[in-house]
Chains A and B, each alone.
Chain A
Amino acid sequence: MKIIFFAYSLLFLSTPTDLVNGDGYKIGDVAIDFSLPNVDGEMVSLADFEDAKGFILIFTCNTCPYSVAYEDRIIALDMAYKSKGYPVIAINPNDPAAIDGDDLADMKVRATEKGFSFPYLQDVGQQVYPQYGATKTPHVFVLQKEGKNNIVRYIGAIDDSSRKPNKVKKRYVEQAVDALLAGKSPSTTTTKAIGCSIKTL
């Protein structure tokens, strides 16, 4: 029976349409923790952040122009919210064998160049992003700690103007985290933006 379940889960993971059609997390779901390598060589888990109230978890990468366009805005989010208890955790979901420029060494170079103030982790074996239901980079999941669980409170875009930073009108992630910090539910819980498909072999 175990073998059948294993075979089923392999089948499930290898069917891209299943991921696309929203089998990932929904608002209110408990998000899994993970242990992934950071650009500094350490392994990082959500459980390491004992004092955090939650997380701004962002699937992003080196090679997607939309991700690059958001790098400064991601750094600004970490600067603004780490001290308030919501650090940014960035995860690169791309299979480095499927695209040049997204292996851990490349990530380390980019993190150093840009001065990333947050962990930039590699989704080794691509086990994490399918469980979250990330489909693209960048793709944000705001998590709120409840006891030992991390509850999904917001899924989507960082703001409403990916291609023109000077035209941003709605800062979705900021609004969501501000609401959580004020003990409220975010008024907007899911949004969409253009991004790059996650690269797999």
Chain B
Amino acid sequence: MKPNRLLPILLFAIYSFAQTTEVASFDYQQLQPLLHQNSESVQVVNFWATWCAPCIKELPYFEELNKLEGVEVLLVSLDFPKHKQKRLIPFVEKHKLQSKVVHLDDENENYWINEISTTWSGALPATLIYSQNRRGFYEQSFTKSELFKEVKSYF
């Protein structure tokens, strides 16, 4: 077989592999347990979207955090439901995101924004950090050093 005949097969294989990326869509009731895990690790939950420029800028810092011992990162996408297949999943694949990614598809924002934090106005990006004895909510963008410093204060 000539190499140029292999190429389509190879591309198809890559394509098939890429299509296996799955991102679960949750309503708030399904997401809620992930915001209240009784874990030894510090839990970092970042609310973001592929269209949110400041979110994308800080995403690599969360990916680095996720590699740390004793830290678990959850990336909660607020992309529009109609953009999940076209934008969110390709983004997760392109950037090879290692942190757990879920898509929050729940219209009742006026309910769950306050449930997540009464201090959250609803602006993105926003981040919840919690351990067994402390919870903090941050409606802001982080620099890498700010984020690491804040997370370390939970140990």
Contacts and interface: CB of A to CB of B under 8 A. Distances in A.
A21 B109 CA distance: 19
Given A160-B110, A163-B81, A163-B107, A193 B139 contact: no
Of B109, B114, B122, B139, most A-chain CB atoms within 10 Å: B122
Given A17-B140, A157-B110, A195 B81 contact: no
Chief secondary structure at chain A's binding surface: loop
Given A20-B121, A136-B123, A194 B80 contact: no
A65 B123 contact: no
B143 interface: no
A196 B107 contact: no
B108 interface: yes
Contacts of B28: none
B151 interface: no
Given A99-B53, A192-B113, A135 B119 contact: no
Chief secondary structure at chain B's binding surface: loop
A117 interface: no
Interface residues of B, number: 24
Interface in B115-155: 119-125, 139-141
24 contacts: A20-B123, A20-B139, A20-B140, A21-B119, A65-B49, A135-B121, A135-B123, A136-B122, A139-B121, A157-B109, A157-B110, A160-B109, A160-B110, A163-B107, A164-B107, A167-B107, A193-B110, A194-B124, A195-B124, A196-B123, A197-B52, A197-B123, A197-B139, A197-B141
